[in-house]
Chains A and B, each alone.
Chain A
Amino acid sequence: MSCFEKKLKKRRQKFKSKNTREDRLRSRVNLTINLSRKLREQTLQKKRNINTSSDQTILELTDEQIEEEVQNIPNYINKMINGNIDEQYTSTQRIRVLLSIEKDPPINEILEHNGILTTLVKFLDYDNHQRLQFEAAWSLTNIAAGLTEHTRMVINAGSLPAFSRLIISKNESIQEQSIWAIGNIAGDCAEFRDKVIENGVVFNLINIIESNPRIEILKSTTWALCNICRAKPHPELKDPNALISVLIGLLDFQDIKVVSDSCWSLCYLADGQPDVIEYVVDQDICPKMVNFLKYPSPIINTPALRFLGNIVTGTDEQTQTVLNCGVLPILFELLIQGNTLNRKEVCWTLSNICAGSPEQIQAVIDQKFVPLVIEILKKDTYAVRKEAAWTISNLVYMGNVKQMIYLINNGAIDIFCDLLSLNDVKILNSCLESLTKILKLGDFFAKMSENQVNRCAQKIDEVGGIEKIDLLYKHQNVLLSKTSKYILDKYFPNYVTENYSEEED
């Protein structure tokens, strides 16, 4: 029977079809085998004795159960406020279970009751009832993880002093829970982050790290610190160097998540902060960061790259420190093989190195970056091309004559004329400036040659650059228009600008 005939036959069986003997048997076989898989799982689970005590009450609630529980909220809250300690515990736990529902937890239904937050915060002080303390901390964490207004309410209820104290609690479950709460609050916005800092949290978090804690605690602590460092404006720390030293110490840790969070924290702290940059460079962490670039996952190599990018925005000496670690060959590899984000960061880093001394620019050229960057300018995604454009224009702008000639010979004129079609005023401006510099050099050579021809101007004409410059001349941005006019007047006096009838002032 051909495939086609089988298909026809199968179609005929669809008429008023019901399950066949084979269907039923197969479903029964599956049922049998699944039952026994479950049994095996349970046996091993039992033997392993995995401590899941803190998670025991994560119940899978059905929709009906949720509805029922939501009805019960007033009742629970009443017991939390007025009940005895056992009732307070069980009711808080029910509330926490509701707040732990993954999809749309009934936060509003709970918060509309007066006194719920102050009660929860009060429970944070119940050192003699740690189970209740833990449930309260968990509930507040989940509320703080909601909208900004929810987070604000948690702060206003006075929870921060309590959490700041509980993050050094001897009870690890409570400690971990409180660290999460702090991390959630600090991660919301700079305003809350500052409040967290005001409560002396950073000092306590540093102490936790120095006390050599369990890996879970260490992980949540670095995560919370990372959230504290992230938001702009930069956090105002009493003793930033103490934090930085601890973070640097964590870079040697074995856990990838801890290392990653520490790296990011250092990144955020160093971003645009000359003091911090100076301090970290003095601490000699550049070799380590350069080494991290080789790590095969963006979890590590991206923050390391961003960190080094921050350093090279500093002084030429600081940039040189990074270059001395042999960063260029690694950047070269990353630019070829890295993901989009990393390619963009590499270009950004390069553009900053190229804003440095002629020796530093020469190092970039010697590493054969130019053809690669030009290649990227031709076909990479917009975000990467933008950074690459800065790299190449900085090269021209900062480069010496020899370096400029090298660039021109490697197709820089084509690429600048290409870039003139981009829609980004800053880049356009820098391209025009670069072209101006190139044309000036062309002029210089023209005067020395026999035929007095500016080869660079000729080249711009060949690749259709004039028309593009002419267009920019009509751009509404004054600077662009001015520079364009300058170029046209000075280097292309014979070019007659096209008149657009609709052209306006």
Chain B
Amino acid sequence: MSEELTQILLDAQSTDQEKRNQGMERIKSAKDNNLPVFLVLLAEELKSEEKPNESRQLAGIILKNTFVSKDEQKKIELANVWCNFKEDVRTEIKQILVMTLGSPNRIARHTSAQVIGAIGSIEYLKDLWPALFSDLIGYMNEETQKGSENIQEGVLTCIGYIAEELAEIEELPNVNEILEAISDGMTSENSNDELKLSATTALYNSLEFFESAFGKPQIRDHLMKAMINAAKNQNQKVSQKGLECLVKIAYVDYNSLENFIEDIYEITMKAMTCDNDLLALQSVEFWNTVCEEEEEINELILEEEQDNRVGKKYIQAVSENLVPNLCQLLTFQDEFEDSGWGVAQAATVSLSLISNLIENQITDLTIQFISDNIVHTEWNHKEAGIICLSSILEGTDTDQLQKVIDDALPLLLDYLEDDHEKVRNSSAYAIGRIFEYHFEAVAINTEVLENSIGALLNSLLDVPHVASNAAWALNNLAEANDYTNEETSPLSSFFMPIVEKLSVATLREDGEKSNLRFQAYEAISTTFLKSAQDTLDDMLLAVSPLLERLEATFSMELLSSNDEILQSQIQGSLCGVLQFMSVRLDKQIEEYAERLINCFLQVFKNPEAVVHEEAMMAIDSLINALGTGFLKYLEVVHPYFIGGINSYKQERLCSLTTNAVGDLFKTIEREIPQKCHSEYVDVFLEAISSEELENEVKPDMILVFGDIALSICGEFEPYLERVTETLEHASSVEYTEEDNDQINYIQNLQRSVLETYSGIIQGLKDDQKEELFLNYCQSIIEFLVRIHDTEEDFIDDKMLKAAAGLIGDILSILGNQVKEAFQIQPIQELVNACANSEKKSVAEVGKWALSRLL
């Protein structure tokens, strides 16, 4: 029987296809026949020292894969299969596996460690093997005394696997016991490299669990030393794992670096200049992590939030020596790969992180490298210089860089035609970054601006990732200044060429590569949104061709899922472009309105939900552009509005639809058919009371009632009771905890209620029905007092303005009937505070309300 199983396992790995299939087939039928028995046999096979490596290993892997899946749902099912085995079966298999951990055969003990990693973590999470760790460590100690060193390596490897599987849980039991085993393995004099590697790996995988232990200086220092020794180890694998531990500890517990930063500095600086890429990479990653931590600490300090990390400004201290090393690493880039992650990429990110921390100081540290390399004859040096420049742009001031940019930009424009693709790519990227952060440095020279645009437009014809960067650079160019209120701008004369060349780029066959099409459409959108008034005539001409493109997407042949994705992307991009065109063209868009509406509605047939949001925004912009002109399309659009409001699960669509309906009432007064508004009131009331809908959307829905009331005036009467009931309910929500989301939500909610009441009374007044409002004054006064009594921090300018606005509205309209009731101290104080606001528009409302109150 046992020989037979060995043979099957060997067959299943045979080079002979037929034999292999047979082997696989028999394994499958054995599994189906009696899984528990088969698994016990597999475990035995793994354990048998006299069996060949190949069959032992495959036995273990089959055993493990029976319970492991990448798919979360499947993983749960498989875990249940294991747990439903009888206890004696599970115990038997586990015992065999644990015994194998000490095998003299490395493959066998590692495979076994892997299987226990899978099964052990399942049992641990189900509380079937609570003593997992102490069992393993107990067994290890017992066997070690008998003189076996393999068992130590096997168990530590196994603990590493388990810790990896358990990454999601909060804490482990027996932390000290585990730590002791690991640190023993890392530091014992008897440890060989294999053992050190498995111990260091186990530590790496379980670091997060030891956070509390790191609070004890003795343990922390001991472990830090162990990691540093591992990082210094001659064996490259151990050294790399040691460095990885240091990277991780910088993230898990920044404070522990304090006593060791000098040692780590030396190790990492040495590793960056050694020949080994992997060690250099981890060294860069260490400083990247420190950068990110210090950035976060600085932000928290700015926001005056508590943090237990003590910011040490290590980066500031080491940057003078670190930056030159990083610059050198930039020249180790891969000739073809941009998407991988190597030392050059890591160093690029590092430089930009450092530049954000030390700001202008980075210029002095990099300027020599940039100027030496950017004119270098070797492509990799040239590209390194370009990338270095683009990395330091974000943190520095424009006047610091004016000269660097003056010198570099003409070169970069030349390099857009360099022979080496990578040089062209990085140049386009660097130009984009210059536009993003230092447009003023370029704008002062029209000739440079002109040359830049010309060169970038040419690059749109380059290979996709260069063209994509060029499109992005053009987007940043348009984004840099808002010229919408200007008659003309320095960019106006390039408007048509830019739009045309970008449109051509969107039609490229290879447009989906490197997101080229998306970037090109974005650049068009931004160009439309921000251009000066003298471009509007040309923009109007562009509506028709772009609209035709959208129409064409509905008849695209959809042969694969790729085609579907392509269709959605194009529809999304075009909706965005057309939305901005409506915003800019306003009434002029009217001649295309019908076709636009039809297109946008057809986009809703696309099963991809995100494009519905794009379409809804486009419709909204049409409402605003057309005003009353939209009325004739209301009948066809109305069902989509109702559908959008009811799509509770698509929160953003729901909110955008709410917004659109609000705009509808705001722009069209009184002419919306009665059956329409009554339906909107119904669906909004239902949505607000639904628990399925996220709270965040509800304040906006409440606001729409105000829009409706203002629009239909006295016709709001039939809804008054139901709507005010909802408002009263919303106004009674109270702060229960110090949670920013909740505070935000309640503030929004209260403000919405106030503004909506304002809308209602103003609307009623227009049809002389203001007396109806008298019923609600008492509860409004109570609400205002509640607002007054909340913590001062929660009452911002916007809230004061809404409150004073409502008070002013009521007193202006109902006057002496209610005046006395409002003349109470809390209301006085709210209005006073509003009148004394530093913001003019707020103070204005406050003063007006005050004049009504007295």
Contact indicator B848/A50 (Cβ below 8 Å): yes
B residues less than 8 Å from A36 (CB atoms): 620, 624, 659, 662-663, 666
Chain A interface extent, by class: 35 or more
Q: Among B256-264, B367-375, B610-618, B717-725, which stretch is in contact with chain A?
A: B610-618
Q: Among A37-45, A188-196, A241-249, which stretch is in contact with chain B?
A: A37-45
Expressed in whole angstroms, the minimum distance between the Cβ of A313 and any Cβ of chain B is 32
Residues of chain B from 109 to 155 with CB closer than 8 A to chain A in the complex: none
Q: CB of A14 within 8 A of chain B? A: yes
Q: CB of B459 within 8 A of chain A? A: no
A residues less than 8 Å from B614 (CB atoms): 25, 28
Contact indicator B851/A214 (Cβ below 8 Å): yes
Q: CB of B338 within 8 A of chain A? A: yes
Contact indicator B429/A16 (Cβ below 8 Å): yes
Q: Known interface pairs A12-B341, A19-B522. Does A43 touch B805 (Cβ–Cβ under 8 Å)? A: no
Q: How far is the CA of A214 from the CA of B851 in the complex (A)?
A: 8
Contact indicator A32/B707 (Cβ below 8 Å): no
Q: CB of B380 within 8 A of chain A? A: no
Contact indicator A18/B848 (Cβ below 8 Å): no
A residues less than 8 Å from B341 (CB atoms): 12, 15
Q: Among B58-66, B187-195, B301-309, B839-847, which stretch is in contact with chain A?
A: B839-847
**Interface residue tally for chain B (C-beta within 8 Å):** 71
Residues of chain B from 510 to 555 with CB closer than 8 A to chain A in the complex: 515, 518-519, 522
Q: CB of A55 within 8 A of chain B? A: yes
Q: Among B36-44, B733-741, B755-763, which stretch is in contact with chain A?
A: B755-763
Q: How far is the CA of A218 from the CA of B850 in the complex (A)?
A: 13
Q: How far is the CA of A7 from the CA of B844 in the complex (A)?
A: 47
Give the nearest-CB partner of B471 in chain A. Answer: A18
Give the nearest-CB partner of B472 in chain A. Answer: A18
Expressed in whole angstroms, the minimum distance between the Cβ of A363 and any Cβ of chain B is 32
Identify A29's interface contact among B656, B667, B755, B847, CB under 8 A: B656
> Per-position contact with A for B694-720: 1 when CB-CB < 8 Å, else 0?
000000000100110010000000000
Identify A48's interface contact among B285, B429, B755, B812, CB under 8 A: B812
Q: CB of A337 within 8 A of chain B? A: no
Q: How far is the CA of A51 from the CA of B848 in the complex (A)?
A: 8
Q: CB of B809 within 8 A of chain A? A: yes
Q: How far is the CA of A8 from the CA of B515 in the complex (A)?
A: 23
A residues less than 8 Å from B518 (CB atoms): 21
Give the nearest-CB partner of B610 in chain A. Answer: A25
Q: How far is the CA of A119 from the CA of B597 in the complex (A)?
A: 61
Q: CB of B20 within 8 A of chain A? A: no
A residues less than 8 Å from B208 (CB atoms): 2-4
Q: Among A143-151, A251-259, A424-432, which stretch is in contact with chain B?
A: A251-259
Contact indicator A28/B352 (Cβ below 8 Å): no
B residues less than 8 Å from A51 (CB atoms): 848
Q: CB of B363 within 8 A of chain A? A: no
- Max count, chain B CB within 10 A of own CB: residue among A7, A15, A214: A15
Q: CB of B331 within 8 A of chain A? A: no
Give the nearest-CB partner of B475 in chain A. Answer: A19
Give the nearest-CB partner of B851 in chain A. Answer: A215
Q: CB of A47 within 8 A of chain B? A: yes
A residues less than 8 Å from B812 (CB atoms): 48
A residues less than 8 Å from B289 (CB atoms): 7
Contact indicator B851/A15 (Cβ below 8 Å): no
Contact indicator B710/A47 (Cβ below 8 Å): yes
Give the nearest-CB partner of B806 in chain A. Answer: A44
Q: CB of B579 within 8 A of chain A? A: yes
Q: CB of B23 within 8 A of chain A? A: no
Identify B349's interface contact among A15, A47, A48, A55, CB under 8 A: A15
Q: How far is the CA of A3 from the CA of B288 in the complex (A)?
A: 16
> Per-position contact with A for B311-333: 1 when CB-CB < 8 Å, else 0?
00000000000000000000000
Expressed in whole angstroms, the minimum distance between the Cβ of A90 and any Cβ of chain B is 23
Q: CB of A11 within 8 A of chain B? A: yes
Residues of chain B from 826 to 854 with CB closer than 8 A to chain A in the complex: 828-829, 832, 836, 840, 844-845, 847-848, 850-851, 854
Q: How far is the CA of A28 from the CA of B338 in the complex (A)?
A: 29
A residues less than 8 Å from B472 (CB atoms): 18-19
Q: CB of B252 within 8 A of chain A? A: yes
Q: How far is the CA of A502 from the CA of B843 in the complex (A)?
A: 65
Q: How far is the CA of A15 from the CA of B469 in the complex (A)?
A: 13
Q: CB of B808 within 8 A of chain A? A: yes
Expressed in whole angstroms, the minimum distance between the Cβ of A130 and any Cβ of chain B is 21
Q: CB of B773 within 8 A of chain A? A: no
Q: CB of A52 within 8 A of chain B? A: yes
Contact indicator B851/A4 (Cβ below 8 Å): no
Q: How far is the CA of A55 from the CA of B844 in the complex (A)?
A: 10
Q: CB of A33 within 8 A of chain B? A: yes
Expressed in whole angstroms, the minimum distance between the Cβ of B847 and any Cβ of chain A is 7
Give the nearest-CB partner of A32 in chain B. Answer: B617
Q: How far is the CA of A126 from the CA of B656 in the complex (A)?
A: 56
Q: How far is the CA of A12 from the CA of B624 in the complex (A)?
A: 41
Give the nearest-CB partner of B207 in chain A. Answer: A4
Contact indicator B349/A43 (Cβ below 8 Å): no
Contact indicator B610/A44 (Cβ below 8 Å): no
B residues less than 8 Å from A379 (CB atoms): none
Q: CB of A216 within 8 A of chain B? A: yes
Q: CB of A448 within 8 A of chain B? A: no
A residues less than 8 Å from B667 (CB atoms): 39
B residues less than 8 Å from A44 (CB atoms): 710, 755, 758-759, 762, 805
Contact indicator B519/A18 (Cβ below 8 Å): yes
Give the nearest-CB partner of A41 in chain B. Answer: B841
Contact indicator B844/A50 (Cβ below 8 Å): yes
Identify B352's interface contact among A4, A14, A55, A255, CB under 8 A: A14
A residues less than 8 Å from B656 (CB atoms): 29, 32-33
Q: How far is the CA of A88 from the CA of B707 in the complex (A)?
A: 45
Q: How far is the CA of A36 from the CA of B617 in the complex (A)?
A: 11
Contact indicator B348/A256 (Cβ below 8 Å): no
B residues less than 8 Å from A2 (CB atoms): 167-168, 208
Contact indicator A40/B666 (Cβ below 8 Å): yes
Expressed in whole angstroms, the minimum distance between the Cβ of A212 and any Cβ of chain B is 11
Q: CB of A58 within 8 A of chain B? A: yes
Q: How far is the CA of A216 from the CA of B656 in the complex (A)?
A: 42
Contact indicator A16/B252 (Cβ below 8 Å): no
Q: How far is the CA of A47 from the CA of B808 in the complex (A)?
A: 11
B residues less than 8 Å from A50 (CB atoms): 844-845, 848
Give the nearest-CB partner of A13 in chain B. Answer: B349
Contact indicator B624/A39 (Cβ below 8 Å): yes
Contact indicator A29/B662 (Cβ below 8 Å): no
Q: CB of A35 within 8 A of chain B? A: yes
Identify B809's interface contact among A19, A48, A215, CB under 8 A: A48
B residues less than 8 Å from A32 (CB atoms): 579, 617, 620-621, 656, 659
Q: CB of B251 within 8 A of chain A? A: yes
> Per-position contact with B for A207-231: 1 when CB-CB < 8 Å, else 0?
0000000111000000000000000
Give the nearest-CB partner of B766 in chain A. Answer: A47
Expressed in whole angstroms, the minimum distance between the Cβ of B344 and any Cβ of chain A is 9
> Per-position contact with A for B562-592: 1 when CB-CB < 8 Å, else 0?
0000000000100010010001000000000
B residues less than 8 Å from A257 (CB atoms): 832, 836
Contact indicator A29/B617 (Cβ below 8 Å): yes
Q: CB of B248 within 8 A of chain A? A: yes
B residues less than 8 Å from A43 (CB atoms): 666, 710
Identify A254's interface contact among B426, B707, B854, CB under 8 A: B854
17 contacts between A and B (CB under 8 A): A2-B208, A4-B208, A7-B292, A12-B349, A15-B341, A18-B515, A21-B518, A25-B614, A29-B652, A32-B621, A33-B655, A35-B624, A39-B624, A39-B667, A43-B710, A47-B762, A257-B836
Q: Top 6 nearest A-B pairs by Cβ distance?
A: A2-B167, A50-B848, A47-B762, A15-B345, A32-B617, A18-B472
Name A residues whose Cβ lies closer than 8 Å to a Cβ of B: 1-4, 7-8, 11-12, 14-16, 18-19, 21, 24-25, 28-29, 32-33, 35-36, 39-40, 43-44, 47-48, 50-52, 55, 58, 214-216, 254-257
Given contacts A28-B579, A47-B710, A256-B832, 16 further A-B contacts (CB under 8 A): A7-B251, A8-B285, A12-B345, A14-B352, A16-B469, A18-B515, A29-B652, A39-B663, A39-B666, A40-B706, A44-B710, A48-B762, A48-B805, A55-B840, A214-B851, A216-B847
